[in-house]
Chains A and B, each alone.
Chain A
Amino acid sequence: MSAVTEIGLTYAGLRRQAEEKATRLKAQAVIRIGSATCGLAAGAAAVKEAFEREISKRRLPVKVLETGCLGHCHAEPLVIISRPGFPGIAYGFVDEDLVELLVKNFLEGDDPCYEYALAALDPNDVFPTFEDFPRGVYEKKIISGESGIIDPKEIEQYLAGGGYGALAEVLARPPQEVIREIKGANLRGRGGAGFPAGVKWELCDRQEERERFIICNGDEGDPGAFMDRSLLESNPHLCIEGMIIGAYAIQARQGYIYIRAEYPLAIERVNVALNQAREKGLLGESILNSGFSFDLEVFQGSGAFVCGESSALVRSMEGERGVPRHRPPRLTESGFRGKPTLLNNVKTFCYVPPIIRHGKDWFKGMGTASSPGTALFSLVGKVAHTGLVEVPMGTTLRELVFEVGGGIPDGKQFKAVQIGGPSGGCLPESALDIPIDYDSLHEAGAIMGSGGLVVMDDDDCMVAVARYFLEFTQQESCGQCTFCRLGTRHMLDLLTAICQGKGDLKSLDTLKDLAEDIKAGSLCGLGKTAPNPVLTTLRYFREEYVAHIREGICPAKMCPDLIVYYIEPEKCSKLCNVCVGSCPVDAIYTREDGLKAIDQKKCVKCDNCLKTCPPQYQAVIKLSPPEKLAELEGKK
């Protein structure tokens, strides 16, 4: 029997077993509980317990599965109930009462309680599916399609959907063909910079040294970004399969998945997945009886943002301080232990199996010519439907924020979208029609980044936002090179002064000059991109900086030193005491007429009174500049 047939037969055996199991599962009622970290934080564990309690109380033959994240973060906790004879239905905002209702009416009875349903998963005549909603129209799930559906701790569920099929296919072909396919697909690295993955694979393969390593970068650290975590928690085998294919392509025998220690659940699920893959012969000696041997293990990063930079990541794996080094040599020439090393992001590896399965032309059929495929974003901030969304490249920011994300909540105005994390930029309304791809975003001053997308409304001060990101990069700078260590520190000092109303217009020039020098002069990508939030806000929101400096006004009323809280007597009610109780420093007192007022000397601007003032009064307002207070009080 030829090796090729043997690989095919071995895989077919695994697949058949898995499919039989899947068929049995389909024949019974199944509850899938979104139990990625996000779901668990929203209360998924209690929901699961409640389901199990109700089911055993009623002695129902129902299976409860912990799945990953379906991507609809705004509706967590989220469950999917599948019953033979009904389409799978997803329910959001599930609490114990809803659990009881669903078990009683839908699992015991036959009423799917559509009034509580988010959407159906399978097309049917009764209830709309996710695809029928605006978000579903734009979304195209290539790498997140099985997230939230399959049980990440059951390799069979991945196998039953065709998982590891790409690997079986690849093992029967010469390694160079795999590289050609990935290169032909023009898959660009999803870690942020967009370097063509196929070219990287080829560079690694061209090295004379035969001992090679493959590393997956799961050191996701951008504020507001959780794509990699979600993928590893929801569908770890996808990334693992991509890595094994990559390892075969460059003939590596050992690989590592670098996951930050702050992602304990991802680490746990990946370890379970690795063990199951080993048991099935998909990892280890002679994978699928092909003669190709490769193993993978998890390396836990211990919490430095800069270790997401590839050379720092490798150094930290070697036991050194996690600081970037000058390149060249590239990692593909001299990486882990001085050997050729292929390092790609979690998402990049996740795209590999679907590209192999469907071919490069299928992949290039999506997205734009220079950035084919899809992009996975964590859409967060001031947007109605926060979530993990996967859209084709070339989708505009406007579509992403307003159609997929459902726009800005609470009747507020869109102000900016921060894309690409601390290395990215803040883009204004006028940039919303930019198609999302590596080159267009770069032109606008932002970067594609790894996929964090934070939406901001008119309550967000752009100077404070720039300051926030600078504070982050300053704290996370490794400190070795002059520009990043000291340049970001000076920029932060200047921004702090502006936020306190102590800046001058000259400091804006210094900021810009410093930013340009840091970009041009820093050693690594972290430093080279750290000024982007400042440069973009200076470019698009200069008038906000000027208002802080010239008039001492924070237009968004966010910078504590430039605002005061004030209770409007004409709106305040004698019958209400809520603000008094909410104030942590006893700054609010009751006037002789029974209305409330703020002792400005005591006020710490915590915002509690404004948040707690009942909606029928809305008597607490913010004033900027603080001098307005005297004006108002003078009038009275």
Chain B
Amino acid sequence: MSEQVTITIDGRELSARRGEKLLWAALRNEIYIPHLCAWPEIEPPEASCRLCYVEIEGRERPVTSCTEPVIEGMVVHTRSPRVDRLVASAFELIMSDHHLNCAKCPQHKRCELQKIARERRLRLRPSRLTALPRRGERDDSLKTIYFDSGRCVLCGRCIWACRELARVGAIGFSRRGYKQAVTTFGDLPLAETACTECGECVEICPVGAFSYKINAGGERESL
């Protein structure tokens, strides 16, 4: 059995590793599919941001590309009226809960949300939905890193990085529904947890929720 399969995305024939998830095959070939919660090593994928929808021929409904293993001969369309509607809707929902202040955000111009908006020609500011009240306070307790939950999109990548890369586990999800949040055990300030300020959470955050503190010289504050 060959390790490589041939798939077609938006009319382009590509070669992909058998069993790899469609999202990564597309991104590697410079075909952009919006995504927030996905990360190549996070297995099984969370599939929680609901942005990476695509159409696969023969499938009744759009599917999330982060959960879909590629198979030989798969024909994929990254855009369709149904996909565009779902992506636009999910994106607007996320933006309605995102403290929008790009000019002051360290991720400005590197932010995944801005990228999605640019690629899919979507507005950053929600139009049909009212912005929800800003969530949480900014945690400034650490020396070199801060967490602004108002910017957090709850993708969960930081939690994975803190556990699996840093092997610390200072943060996790708590509460449910709209109140769900990335937080520490007992909602303690980060400085009172096992956090080592290694920066894995900042590196993996698709937005500016976890960010480095910058000193007067424009550099990352050092420990």
Contact = CB atoms under 8 A, between A and B. Distances in A.
B90 A485 contact: no
Contacts of B96: 486, 490
A514 B128 CA distance: 10
A305 B53 CA distance: 27
Given A486-B97, A490-B96, A326 B47 contact: yes
B46 to A, nearest CB: 7
A326 B64 contact: yes
Contact of B47 (A489, A493, A523): A523
Given A481-B48, A517-B85, A474 B177 contact: yes
Given A326-B45, A490-B96, A520-B61, A482 B176 contact: no
Interface string A440-479: 0000000000000000000000000000000000111111
B165 interface: no
A483 B90 contact: yes
Given A474-B178, A480-B180, A482-B49, A325 B93 contact: no
B46 A482 contact: no
A520 to B, nearest CB: 6
Nearest to A328: B67
Nearest to A476: B177
Interface string B1-41: 00000000000000000000000000000000000000000
Given A485-B154, A510-B128, A520-B62, A477 B177 contact: yes
30 contacts: A326-B64, A326-B67, A475-B177, A478-B176, A478-B180, A479-B177, A479-B180, A480-B48, A480-B154, A480-B173, A481-B48, A481-B49, A481-B50, A482-B49, A482-B50, A482-B90, A482-B93, A483-B89, A483-B90, A486-B93, A487-B89, A489-B132, A490-B132, A513-B89, A517-B85, A517-B90, A520-B61, A521-B50, A521-B86, A521-B89
Interface size class of A (residues with CB under 8 A): 20 to 34
Contacts of A475: 176-177
Interface of A: 304, 306, 321, 325-326, 474-483, 485-490, 493, 510, 513-514, 517, 520-523
Contact of A477 (B44, B89, B97, B178): B178
B46 A514 contact: no
Contacts of A325: 44, 47
Contacts of B64: 326
Contact of B177 (A485, A490, A493, A513): A485
Contacts, number: 96
A14 B97 CA distance: 63
Contacts of B67: 326
A478 B179 CA distance: 9
B198 interface: no
Contacts of A485: 154, 177-178, 180
B91 to A, nearest CB: 9
Contacts of A326: 44-45, 47, 64, 67
Contact of B130 (A306, A476, A493): A493
Nearest to B93: A486
A479 B50 contact: no
Given A326-B44, A480-B180, A490 B129 contact: yes
Contacts of A478: 176-177, 180
A483 B97 CA distance: 12
B94 interface: yes
B59 interface: no
Contacts of B121: none
A477 B177 CA distance: 4
Nearest to B175: A479
B200 to A, nearest CB: 21
